[in-house]
Amino acid sequence: MPDLQRVVQEIAEEMRARPDRGDVATYIPELAGADPASFGIAVVGADGEVAAAGDCDLPFSIQSVSKVFTLTLALGKVGDRLWRRVGREPSGSPFNSIVQLEAEQGIPRNPFINAGAIAVTDIILSGHQPREALGEIVRFMQFLADDASIFIDEAVAASEQRTGFRNRALANYMKSFGVLENPVDHTLGVYFHHCAIAMSCRQLAMAGRFLAHNGRNPESGLSVVSPERARRINAVMLTCGHYDGSGEFAYRVGLPGKSGVGGGILAIAPGRASIAVWSPGLDASGNSHLGRLALEALTQRLGWSVFGG
């Protein structure tokens, strides 16, 4: 895959040179110190080869990218019953909006806005202690990425525990409608911690492989989810993965993707590759500015958009 490595390298260089880098998220104090100059990219192809460039091995806070994996895990536990507690429509609202919850009886619009991801976390937690549930999530990430070194950044988790009032509002609000089963503090504890998982682009791209390959690890051949479920998770990523910037991401990049306020984006080119990019500066919708530009360049040069060559 020499071509792919060259394209990835070129894009990393172009991104480094750009003067516009977005603004680093400040609402989680611990993330505010990230270096806006950082940029990493990693692409894992169908044959298992990895093309990577820039800060591709630097761990960053994956934040909401973790929601793809908790959704996968929760679907594994309760199957389609999950959709009784969470919708799967784009919200047309910012990531932390509470308005939609009031109109829809506490049922979050989709699993990728904060409220929805908290409800998904609550499903994983049910029947377990918070520590167990969190262990399960981390081990699932390590298994998918084939890398036991993936860890939770406790300083980030603690920072959000102290300041996550809006998420606490969302969780209590859902609890008032009976949408959460567990004590709010337990559910939020697990949520804040899985958002604080630290991974490099390389690790994240590895973890996403099953979504690019019909639910299977393309090297080991092991099935993580059914092909249908992989397609459906990709569909939810495409319509809902970037909050109220989801339409824009589909329009420009043309791939299912999930962003996090840490500046990471996981994108899936079905049948082709799992891609992770990272740059901490965000655009107005809270998605990585350079990350999106890099993915736009990548799909354009390789003809990888799901919407046509």
The reply on whether position 158 binds its own copies by CB under 8 A is no
Q: Is 170 in the site for its own copies (CB under 8 A)?
A: yes
Q: Which amino acid is at 263?
A: G
Interface with its own copies includes 212 (CB under 8 A)? yes
- 214 part of the interface to its own copies, by CB under 8 A: yes
Does 191 show up as a binding residue in the annotation?
Answer: yes
Rg of the chain (C-alpha set): 18
**Does residue 92 bind its own copies (CB under 8 A)?**
yes
- Is there binding between residue 292 and its own copies (CB under 8 A)? no
Asked whether 264 and 249 are in contact (CB, 8 A), the reply is no
- Say how many C-beta atoms besides its own lie within 10 A of residue 2's C-beta: 8
Nearest to 41 by CA among 57, 26, 20: 57
For residue 91, give every residue at least 6 positions away whose Cβ sits within 8 Å of its Cβ, in sequence order, or none. 97, 100, 109, 110, 113, 240, 243, 244
Binds its own copies by CB under 8 A, chosen from 16, 248, 297, 301: 248
Tokens of 278: 């990272």
Does the footprint of its own copies cover residue 175 (CB under 8 A)? Answer: yes
For residues 130 and 215, which CB has a smaller minimum distance to its own copies in the complex? 215
Closest CB 212 distance from its own copies, rounded Å: 8
Task: Tell me if 44 contacts its own copies by CB under 8 A.
Answer: no
Q: Does 239 bind its own copies (CB under 8 A)?
A: yes
In this chain, which of 85, 109, 289, 292 binds its own copies, going by CB under 8 A?
A: 109
Candidates 60, 69, 173, 192; binder of its own copies (CB under 8 A) is 173
The 10 Å CB-count burial string (b at 16+, else e) for 103-129 is: eeebbbbbbbbbbbbbbbbbbbbeeee
Q: Which residues are part of the catalytic machinery?
A: 64, 67, 191, 243, 261
User: Which amino acid is present at 230?
Assistant: A
Q: Is 26 in the site for its own copies (CB under 8 A)?
A: no
Among 70, 234, 259, 287, binds its own copies (CB under 8 A): 234
Nearer to its own copies, 45 or 254 (CB): 254
Q: Which residues bind its own copies (CB under 8 A)?
A: 87-93, 97-103, 109-110, 165-166, 168-173, 175-176, 184, 211-214, 227-228, 230-232, 234-236, 238-240, 244-248, 250-251, 254, 256, 270-271, 300, 305-309
